């Protein structure tokens, strides 16, 4: 059994003792509040699940301190005393599990979703929010400082154990700190001392309005990763100042929206695990208060090692807590293999929020629905369920159906489980997708799900199984476009699957037809293997099915390697070793290529459906077999079916 003694050592945050070093950091999840900003049972049960799971310290993400600073439509609001009772009910529920519960105080500044932001200077935000913010006046600055202090007083009255000032990720406090967003020429701009004044005055107002021993933490960037932004030297300069002011801890993160990799605020699976820890390590050199590190830390052994090596005192594991609320308890018991892993895919936790939808998780569709699923009841009349296909949808529905007590038999025509995930994990930076397959393999073994590989399903086999219900999860295959002359060239034609299965031998110069996610990933894979690649994308956008964070990383990767990208192209003619196409009103001719790889969408595999047309058996079609979809959608759908069948 793995012993994680550093991760489970208690720690003092000011006068507050925390039972372990696990931190569930503040995250913008865009759910759990009503139309007036009062927290609901949805948010309460979300946090209760993680507190019950053994985490020592949890922080509510981005509570707005002022009406001008609401970052997302469904973030908590704490700018009025009327919000206190609902918060008090939530803190009481969390405290039943010996967790320390804090709240992050936020003003969104120019990065508010409504596009009517305010800022130290009228400079547009880079990245996700459009529009030019209005410059704050001196009286307005004073009003917002007071709002932070009043919100901290409400937080303490609500039963929170501490507050955290959000001074990172490009929100209002960050905008005052950084030269590229603060062009003021008064007491709040110009020199370093003037640019940090807003944060210090917020801190002092909070200190004045809360109890002497009430901990105040600060989340601050170690580096903005953007031109003329805040850098580690700035962070090391302000850290001792904040300690002297009375900060109980510093929470060191990085990036703002629009910054370049690896500084995207929520790093994708392309970023190395622990990508920002070196920044926390630098801050630890200049302060004696606890320092929290963050940045794609997904497994407890890694977290324990970070603490053991003195790189941080506590470790924030945000998306890991979404994927598995029982993360800390499983780590304490030594059952590390049972932890449901975060893939770093950013589909449910990031992209959903950027689309102003509720956060969820590919690996854990219960996220945002904890209040609906308080324990999974066993069925009173178990069924024998035949699942055809052991791709991600088939594996997910099998797990949930088995948890509920059904007898599940999975039949897969290949000699392995995982379906397309095995191929999707081949391109550079995508190997962690296999964590999903490994997790389901262990889960289904524990649940005594029978998996039959290398099976060709036929009438005789179906009769022998005699299922009460059937789930068809047979996946999809590449769609071949009907383009004149495509197969009349000297070039060899392949699909993305041919390439990733390593069944095709390609030459040195390759055309990839299609700019969707598989197309770009295969281009990356081919380039890494020494090929010269041109991507011809007939759509206006690249990889729209991909999470924005992942897409940004991948686009940056392709810029650095031998890949030429063309979008919104119209192919005029295929040549013996190339093509003529139009792009941006220009005609482009490329020649000397030996191969074309097709990546223009997928089509469902439904040939097995005919075997069940005349049978009086409950039959369900899910995943790509129903219609090609994202991994997030397929996992959610499969989980839902597993709960209802």
Catalytic residues: 171
Instruction: Centre a 10 Å sphere on the Cβ of residue 490 and count the other Cβ atoms it contains.
Output: 11
Three state DSSP letters for 271-309: CCCCCCHHHHHHHHCCCCCCEEECCCCCCHHHHHHHHHC
Cα 101 to chain centroid distance, Å, stands at 22
What is the torsion angle, in degrees rounded to the nearest 10, for the CA atoms of residue 323, residue 324, residue 327 and residue 329? Answer: 180
Whether the ω angle into residue 262 lies within 30 degrees of 0, i.e. cis, is: yes
Cα separation, 228 vs 175, whole angstroms: 12
Cα angle 397, 400, 406 (rounded to 5 degrees) comes to 95
Beta strand segments in 174-325, E: 216-221, 249-253, 291-293, 314-316
Grouping H, G, I as helix, E, B as strand and the rest as coil, residue 452 is strand
Q: What angle do CA 283, 205, 79 make, to 5 degrees?
A: 105
For residues 615 and 472, is the Cβ–Cβ distance under 8 A? no
CA distance 524 to 500: 12
Please state, as a whole number, how many other Cβ atoms lie within 10 Å of the Cβ of residue 519: 24
**Strand 384-388 to 469-472 pairing:** parallel
Name which of 71, 95, 87, 73 is nearest 38 in CA terms.
87
CA-wise closest residue to 126 among 214, 227, 211: 227
Q: How large is the greatest C-alpha to C-alpha distance in the chain, in angstroms?
A: 83
């Amino acid at each position: 059994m793995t012993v994680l003694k550093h991760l489970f050592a208690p720690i003092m945050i000011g006068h507050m003792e925390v039972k372990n070093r696990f931190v569930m950091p503040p995250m913008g999840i865009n759910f759990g509040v009503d139309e007036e900003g009062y927290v609901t049972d949805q948010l309460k049960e979300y946090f209760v699940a993680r507190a019950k799971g053994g985490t020592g310290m949890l922080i509510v993400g981005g509570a707005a301190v002022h009406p001008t600073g609401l970052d997302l439509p469904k973030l908590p609001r704490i700018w009025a005393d009327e919000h206190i009772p609902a918060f008090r009910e939530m803190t009481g529920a969390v405290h039943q599990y010996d967790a320390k519960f804090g709240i992050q105080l936020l003003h969104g500044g120019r990065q508010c979703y409504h596009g009517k932001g305010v800022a130290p200077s009228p400079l547009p935000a880079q990245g996700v929010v459009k529009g030019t913010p209005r410059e704050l006046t001196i009286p307005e600055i004073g009003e917002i400082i007071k709002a932070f202090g009043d919100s901290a007083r409400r937080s303490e009255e609500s039963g929170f154990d501490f507050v955290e000032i959000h001074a990172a990720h490009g929100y209002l406090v960050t905008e005052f700190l950084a030269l590229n967003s603060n062009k003021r020429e008064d007491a709040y701009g110009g020199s370093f001392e003037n640019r940090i004044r807003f944060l210090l005055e917020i801190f002092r107002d909070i200190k004045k309005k809360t109890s002497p021993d009430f901990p105040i933490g600060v989340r601050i960037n170690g580096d903005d990763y953007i031109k003329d932004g805040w850098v580690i030297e700035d962070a090391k300069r302000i850290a001792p100042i904040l300690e002297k002011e009375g900060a109980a801890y510093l929470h060191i993160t990085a990036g703002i929206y629009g910054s370049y990799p690896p500084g995207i605020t929520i790093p994708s699976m392309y970023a190395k695990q622990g990508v920002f820890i070196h920044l926390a390590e630098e801050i630890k050199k200049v302060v004696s208060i606890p320092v929290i590190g963050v940045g794609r830390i997904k497994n407890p052994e890694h977290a324990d090692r970070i603490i053991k090596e003195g790189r941080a005192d506590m470790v924030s594991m945000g998306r890991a807590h979404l994927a598995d609320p029982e993360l800390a308890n499983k780590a304490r018991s030594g059952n590390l293999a049972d932890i449901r892993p975060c893939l770093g895919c950013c589909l449910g936790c990031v992209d959903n929020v950027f689309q102003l939808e509720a956060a969820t998780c590919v690996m854990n569709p219960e996220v945002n629905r904890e209040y609906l699923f308080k324990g999974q009841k066993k069925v009173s009349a178990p069924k024998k369920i035949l699942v055809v296909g052991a791709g991600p949808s088939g594996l997910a529905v099998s797990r949930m159906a088995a948890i509920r007590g059904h007898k599940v038999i999975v039949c897969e025509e290949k000699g392995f489980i995982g379906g397309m995930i095995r191929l999707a994990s081949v391109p550079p930076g995508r190997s962690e997708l296999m964590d999903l397959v490994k997790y389901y393999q262990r889960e289904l073994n524990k649940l005594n799900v029978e998996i039959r590989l290398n099976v060709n399903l036929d009438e005789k086999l179906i009769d022998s199984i005699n299922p009460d219900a059937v789930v068809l999860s047979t996946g999809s295959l590449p769609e071949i476009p009907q383009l004149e002359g495509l197969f009349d060239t000297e070039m060899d034609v392949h699909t993305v699957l041919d390439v990733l299965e390593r069944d095709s031998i390609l030459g040195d110069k390759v055309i990839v037809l299609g700019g969707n996610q598989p197309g770009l990933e295969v281009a990356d894979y081919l380039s890494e293997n020494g090929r010269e690649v041109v991507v011809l994308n007939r759509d206006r956008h690249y990889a729209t099915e991909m999470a924005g964070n992942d897409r940004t990383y991948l686009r940056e990767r392709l810029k650095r390697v031998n890949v030429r990208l063309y979008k919104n192209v119209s192919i005029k003619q295929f040549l013996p070793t190339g093509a003529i196409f139009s792009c941006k009103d220009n005609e482009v001719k490329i020649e000397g290529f030996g191969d074309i790889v097709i990546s223009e969408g997928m089509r469902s595999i439904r040939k097995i459906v005919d075997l069940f047309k005349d049978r009086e058996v409950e039959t369900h079609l899910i995943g790509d077999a129903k219609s090609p979809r994202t991994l997030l959608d397929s996992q959610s759908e499969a989980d839902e079916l597993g709960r209802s069948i």
